[in-house]
Every structure is written in C-alpha cells, then in structure tokens.
Structure 1
Amino acid sequence: MPAVTEQQTTFPSEGVRPKPRFASIGSPYFGILLAAMSVIVILSNIGASKGVMFGPIVTDGGFFLFPLAYVIGDVISELYGFRVARRAVVSSFVFSAFASLAYWVIIILPGFDDDYGRAKQASIEGALGPVPQIVLASLLAFLAGQLINSWIMVRMKARSGERRLWARLMGSSGLGEFVDTLIFCSIAAPVIGITDIGSFANYVIVGFLYKTLVEYALVPVTSTAIGWLKRREPSYRASGDESLPAAS
C-alpha cells in the first residue's frame, strides 16, 4: 500500500502586518494639494481675525475654511506618508508667514493724506493688523495638531494596510483637532475680542466639535478623493500588487 504523504500548506503569519504603501511626490497631484492647503491656511488666518457669533455660539471668520486644511492633510498623509505631510505643513506656514510679512509692509507704506486715504488706512490696519498674532496661533496649533493627526493616520495604516481607511480618517481627527483648537484659541482669543472665561470655553468647545464633526461628515468625500488619487498616482500603483478599491 503506498505511503500516504501529508500535503504541507503554509499560511501567512498572523503577526506579519501589511507594509503601508505611499506614492512619491513626482506627480502633479502633490503640488495641487500643497497649493490648496497653503491658500486655505492663509485665507483662514485672515478670516480668523474677525469674531463671529451665531446666537450663543462664538467662533471666528475662518471657521468654514480651516477644516478643509485638515481634510487635505489627511489626503496627503494617506497618499504620501508622514515625512511628506510634515513638509506640506511646514511649507504652508512658510507661505503664511510670508503673507503676514506682506501685510505688515502694506500697512506701513505711506498712504494718501486725505480723508479717504486715512479711512482706508484705518480699515486695512483693523483688518490685517491682528493677523501676525493669528498666524502665530495658527502656526503653533496647526503644526502640533496636523502632525499628530498625520502621525496617527500613518501608524494606523501600518497596522491595517489599505483596509479601514474610514477608521484612520475618523480616529486621527479627534486628538489632532483638540490640540489644534486649544492652542489656537488660547493665543487668538484676545486678538478677536474674547476675554472672559465663558466665551473662551464656548470658543474652544464649539471650535473643536465643529471642526471634528465637519471632518467626520466629509469622510465619504475624503475617502472617494483618496481612492481616485490612488488609482491615478503611478508611483502608488507601482508600490504594491494588490488591487486598489475605489474607496476603503
């Protein structure tokens, strides 16, 4: 009777994690994302110099723009990794600092010495004068918050690979947005006229909840955009063999 041989079947080790894939920055997509992030941050800094009230809710004029910068940061982190995301954050604030310097030069330039010129000068000083402090608040807050956000996303991707993108987008938002909001509000509140504890607490809590909920609401859009970019980034496709879903 012939000997029965046992067929050996190998299984991948459960402890082996899928290696995360990232694209290079040689394609035009990264440049577009970086430009969009920089413009949004600069406009947010201008808008943040104005205090805004919706009934009992206290916020600032940049409230509808700033969450978009985090969404773009999520896209950059997922596609290109932490080092490129860090470069994008630093670059955005270099441009923002340059804009703030330009505002200062515009303010000190001699204007027309008539009633209209003096009124215009006062308006420009009122609108752009506080911006340098807003830029400082935004610089420290966004740098800390976005780097935390990006680091968490990349670490979660190292565990799950291409799966559970929605969990990465939602899981990274909470801590990053909280750190961002607390630092920004602490520095920016006096500039926009928030001086009492109640209004400050309102400003922090509303800002944190609003920005986080906006990011959560945009998760389907962000996931779809990431899936679209992954399929079109040649270097991302080349970094792995498995097929890419339209949105994870």
Structure 2
Amino acid sequence: MNTAPLTSDTTSTPPSGSPAGAVYADRGSSHFDILLALMCVVVILSGIGASKGVLFGTVPGTGFSIITDGGFFLFPLAYILGDVITELYGVRAARRAILLSFLANILAVVCYEIIIVLPGFTDDYGTAKQSALELALGPVWIVVLAGICGFVAGQSLNSFVMSRMKARRGERGLIGRLFSSSGLGELVDTIIFCTIASAAIGITTVGQWAEYTVLGFVYKVAVQYLAIPVTAAVIRYLKRTDPTYQARLRAQAPAES
C-alpha cells in the first residue's frame, strides 16, 4: 500500500461555488518524473531542429509557400505533455516543468558553445567538421531564446486556462479544457517564437515571416486537436493508476455528497 504523504500544489477541497473542485496528484508519484524527462528531451531536440528552415514548396494555385522549421513535428508534443502535467499535477507543477525544460535547454546551448570553441583537428576533415558544427549549432542559442520567450508565455497561459477551468468543473469537462487552452497558448507562443527565431532560420521578408507564423500556428493547433482523444485517454489512465490522485478523489467524495 502506498503511504506517501498527500502533499499537493493545490488543495483538494472544492472551491466555493464549484460542483466538483480540482484534484491533483502528488509530484512524488511515479509518473511526474517520466513526463518531466520527456518534456526536457522534446524541448532540447526542438531547439536543435528549429534552427533549420524547411521549405516544402508552394501550394498549387495559391502562391503560398509552406515554410516551417526542422522542429515542427516535435514542438506540439511539448504542449501535449504540458497539458498532461497540468491536468494531473496542477499549474505549479507545470511551471516547474517549463522552467526545468528550459534550464536543460540553456545547459545544452552552453555545451554547444564549448564544443565549438574547443580546438579541433587541423586536417581537412577536422576543419570541415568544425565549420559544420559552427553552422549547425552556432545559431541554436537564438532558437532557444525564442523558445524560452514563446513557450514560457504560451504554455503558462495554456496551463492557467486549464487549471481555472478545472477549478470550476473538477473532473468533468476534460475535453473542453484541452480544446479551450490549446488555441490561446499556441497563438501567443507562435507569434513570439517565429518573430525571434526568423533570423536564425534564414527568413528575411515580412511575407516569409507571415507564412511561417500562420502555418506554424495552424499546424500546432491542428496536431493538438487531433491528438486530444489520445491525450485524454492517457490522462485518464494516469489518473486511474496514480495512488495519490485516487486518494484525493476519495477524500473529496464526502464533501460532494
């Protein structure tokens, strides 16, 4: 039997006027460390991938170019993980995950810079590799800065909306929370990120920036919305298998009866 103390970021007592109240698991339970590790990995890899500009061509008959970056397939996963963490552990835990993810990303950038300045081999292969590292990893710090500014603002808004909606409705309305929070967070994130990261990616015109930003927003929201059934299923599974979450649900039950 799990005897871990039931400490939480928020109280399990239903807020005034709420029919259900918000219940959260203890961060010391087995799932939080896994989710945090996944978020850190996704954020670091996104920073590397996003330093490459990607052009898929022009949509026939529209003149609209499909401009994105090499991290486009990864970054929505960070928001999905943020949704899962917020729903299970609360907004404070989500903020901690955001902070730790970007501290890890900053550490990665520092390591890239050290690797670049270390003296390399002076033969043709070593010189070519040094140039490649400078070209590939050199601009990553700009992408990381863009990611910090965009993701912190967007994911914080996303987590805030989810936590406020959960405080009002409790366990009910999970799908609605996921739909409502995603659009707002992604809009703020995409505008900030694309504006700062454009220089590192190689975007030089306002038109390219607009295409990059609009496509990025539509894509990220579409991925999150399409993934909502899976996200909700994962959240429900983690809730069922987390002993601290179930203990708080049982402790709340007398207050609702």
TM-score normalised by length of structure 2: 0.88
Show structure 1 runs of 5+ residues with no match: 1-13, 244-248
Aligned position for 1:181: 190
- The one-letter amino acid of 2:214's match is I
DSSP-derived class of the 1:190 partner: helix
Take 1:61 and 1:123, find their aligned partners in 2: how far apart are those partners?
Answer: 17
What displacement does 1:240 show?
Answer: 1.4
TM-score normalised by length of structure 1: 0.91
DSSP-derived class of the 2:249 partner: coil
What displacement does 1:89 show?
Answer: 0.3
Take 1:242 and 1:97, find their aligned partners in 2: how far apart are those partners?
Answer: 41
Take 1:16 and 1:242, find their aligned partners in 2: how far apart are those partners?
Answer: 16
Quick check: 1:146 aligned with 2:176?
Answer: no
DSSP-derived class of the 1:162 partner: coil
- The one-letter amino acid of 2:70's match is G
Please give the per-residue CA displacement for 1:79-112, whole angstroms capped at 9, x wherever unaligned.
0000010000000000000000000000000000
DSSP-derived class of the 1:19 partner: coil
What displacement does 1:17 show?
Answer: 3.2
- The one-letter amino acid of 2:46's match is S
| Identity among equivalent pairs (%) | 57
Aligned position for 1:42: 44
- The one-letter amino acid of 1:141's match is G
Q: Any runs of at least 4 consecutive aligned residues in structure 1 with deviations exceeding 2 A, and if so which?
A: 14-17
Aligned position for 1:115: 124
Take 2:38 and 2:238, find their aligned partners in 1: how far apart are those partners?
Answer: 15
Take 2:194 and 2:141, find their aligned partners in 1: how far apart are those partners?
Answer: 15
Matched-pair contact (CA < 8 Å) for 1:17–1:158: no
Show structure 2 runs of 5+ residues with no match: 1-15, 58-64, 253-257
Take 1:115 and 1:225, find their aligned partners in 2: how far apart are those partners?
Answer: 51
- The one-letter amino acid of 1:38's match is C
Take 2:213 and 2:107, find their aligned partners in 1: how far apart are those partners?
Answer: 27
Corresponding pairs, count = 231
2:92 pairs, out of 83, 92, 95, with: 83
CA RMSD of aligned residues (A): 1.5
Please give the per-residue CA displacement for 1:111-140, whole angstroms capped at 9, x wherever unaligned.
001111000000111110000111100011
What displacement does 1:28 show?
Answer: 1.9
Please give the per-residue CA displacement for 1:21-42, whole angstroms capped at 9, x wherever unaligned.
0001111210000000000000
Matched-pair contact (CA < 8 Å) for 2:18–2:168: no
